[in-house]
Amino acid sequence: MRYRLVIFDWDGTLMDSAARIVACMQAASRDAGWGELAPESIRNIIGLGLPEAIASLCPGIDAERAELLRSRYAWHFVEGNDTPMSFFPEVEGGLAELHMRPGQRLAVATGKSRRGLDRVFLESNSGHWFHASRTADETRSKPHPLMLEQLLAELEVPLAEAVMVGDTEYDLEMARAIGMDRVAVTWGVHAPERLSASLPTFTAEAVPELFDWLQGR
């Protein structure tokens, strides 16, 4: 195997969820009286923790309105919006095959909340593939590397034997901050030229290409 531990981002890397995130954030902003947020601005903050995302999208927002926007976003995402979300094609097969390799460890490092990640694990029947996970509300938001450091410690894997896979500069920069190898995927929310600035170890332009590379094929 190329790496003993593969750490995946979730939204935009494994799951095609950007459209739902955008729609829910726009609705929450209107509910909170902040006004209309541009879709591209929302796509830009996918991967950050929700408080950090709101602060970036709404400069100068006061604490009360930020909390209202946060709560309305959570409501829309769970109950008020039915925009479909699914794994990108061939992701499930790739994860299942990786999971079966002796000694292979898989993890998730995401801007989602713990409640949100656990919900999507249950709904997609995918939690059993991963040996550990970290969410933005239980550690530091990307691009701070704390969640990666915690995953390495929990799974007892040396830095040199781990890789971070993501679709945003936040994923790549948190890995770069501690010298971890990093893979950029180009089917997510940040443009390839933006990802290349983080000097990825490898760039995958299609899902099969990613999993072939991770398996050393």
The structural domains of the chain, with segments of one domain joined by +, span: 5-16+87-214, 18-80
- Position 84 scores a pLDDT of 83
Confidence of residue 83 (pLDDT cuts 50, 70, 90): confident
Reply yes or no on whether the pLDDT at 163 is more than 80: yes
* C-alpha distances out from residue 103 to 71, 108, 152, 163, 199, Å: 40, 17, 15, 15, 28
Look at residue 165 in the predicted model and tell me its pLDDT: 98
Q: How many beta carbons lie within 10 A of that of residue 179, not counting itself?
A: 10
Q: Any idea what DSSP says for residue 156? A: T
pLDDT exceeds cutoff 80 at 39: yes
Q: Report how far residue 170's alpha carbon sits from residue 60's, in angstroms, rounded to the nearest whole number.
A: 22
- Does residue 82 carry a pLDDT above 90? no
Distance CA(92)–CA(123), nearest Å, equals 14
Check residue 147 and give its pLDDT: 97
Counting residues of the chain whose pLDDT is more than 70, the rounded percentage is 100
**Alpha-carbon distances of 22 from 39, 56, 71, 171, rounded to whole Å:** 6, 14, 15, 19
- Supply the pLDDT for residue 142: 96
User: How far apart (Å, rounded) are the C-alpha atoms in residues 93 and 83?
Assistant: 23
**In angstroms, rounded to a whole number, what is the distance separating the alpha carbons of residues 125 and 130?**
11
β-sheet bridge partners, residue 7: 107, 164
Torsion angle of the four alpha carbons 32, 34, 38, 42, in this order, in degrees rounded to the nearest 10: -50
Which residue is it, tokens 């801007």? 111
Write the class of the CATH domain 5-16+87-214: alpha beta
Question: Which is higher by pLDDT, 130 or 82?
Answer: 130
Closest listed residue to residue 198, CA positions, set 9, 42, 2: 9
pLDDT in tens, 110-147: 999 998 899 999 999 999 999 999 999 999 999 999 99
Q: Please tell me the pTM assigned to this model.
A: 0.93
Q: What's the CATH number for 18-80?
A: 1.10.150.240
Q: CA triplet 24, 145, 141: central angle to 5 degrees?
A: 25
